[in-house]
């Protein structure tokens, strides 16, 4: 029995959960490993916008939060960017038919939850490898958020849910 437990432990990914607060992005999330940070400009139909990302990798799975900063608190632009992020992410798995569902995204303190969208899909990437994606999208003020798990093989549902459910707007 001990040998079986050791073999299974050696084959399972190691999750080292930690809560990270992003002051600039005004959110908190619990990552399964220490996240790295990156920033770049992303082209949208409305123009180029800055995007910051924190991401942690565990085996073949990437757990990430991306924050696009809008030039102003513009509901139309916020919705356009949310839609483009969703379509762009699903293009990674060549899955345009995935149907998003509404979810409520927590805010810190007594603030009411905000409506967001959740989507998950499996498919083949352009390099012919299978990909899994689960994501949530929400916008508030001058920020649009993409909370995503992207992997070649879906992590355990509990791990995906723990990451996605931990996201909180501050």
- Whether residue 1 lies inside any domain: the answer is no
- Whether residue 136 lies inside any domain: the answer is yes
Model confidence over 160-170: pLDDT tens digits? Answer: 999 999 999 99
- Whether residue 4 lies inside any domain: the answer is no
- In order, the DSSP letters of the chain are -HHHHHHHHHHSPP---EEEEETTTTEEEEESSPPEEEEEEEEETTEEEEEEEEEEEETTEEEEEEEEEPSS--HHHHHHHHHHHHHHHHHTTT---PPPEEEEEEESTTPPPEEEEEEEEEEE-TTS-EEEEEEEEEEETTEEEEEEEEESSPPPHHHHHHHHHH-EE-
Residue bearing tokens 């995906």: 160
Q: What is the CATH number of the domain that holds 100?
A: 3.40.1000.10
- Whether residue 141 lies inside any domain: the answer is yes
- Whether residue 12 lies inside any domain: the answer is no
| Whole-prediction pTM | 0.89
Model confidence over 91-139: pLDDT tens digits? Answer: 888 776 688 999 999 999 999 999 999 999 988 888 888 899 999 999 9
* Residues, the chain: 170
pLDDT of 91: 86
Q: How many domains does the chain have?
A: 1
- Whether residue 3 lies inside any domain: the answer is no
- Whether residue 11 lies inside any domain: the answer is no
- Whether residue 48 lies inside any domain: the answer is yes
Is residue 1 pLDDT above 50, yes or no?
no
Domain that holds residue 124: 18-169
pLDDT of 25: 94
């Amino acid at each position: 029995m001990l040998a079986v437990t050791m073999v299974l432990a050696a084959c399972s990914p190691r999750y080292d959960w930690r809560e990270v607060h992003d002051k600039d992005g005004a959110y908190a999330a619990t990552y399964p490993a220490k996240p790295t940070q990156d920033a770049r400009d992303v082209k949208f139909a409305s123009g180029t916008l800055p995007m910051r990302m924190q991401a942690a990798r565990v085996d073949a799975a990437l757990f990430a939060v991306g924050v696009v900063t809008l030039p102003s608190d513009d509901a139309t632009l916020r919705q356009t960017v949310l839609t483009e992020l969703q379509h762009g992410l699903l293009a990674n798995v060549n899955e345009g038919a995935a149907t998003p569902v509404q979810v409520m995204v927590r805010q810190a303190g007594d603030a009411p939850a905000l409506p967001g969208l959740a989507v998950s899909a499996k498919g083949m990437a352009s390099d012919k490898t299978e990909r899994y994606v689960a994501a949530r999208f929400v916008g508030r003020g001058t920020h649009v958020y993409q909370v995503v798990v992207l992997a070649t093989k879906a992590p355990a549902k509990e791990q995906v849910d723990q990451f996605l459910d931990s996201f909180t707007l501050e």
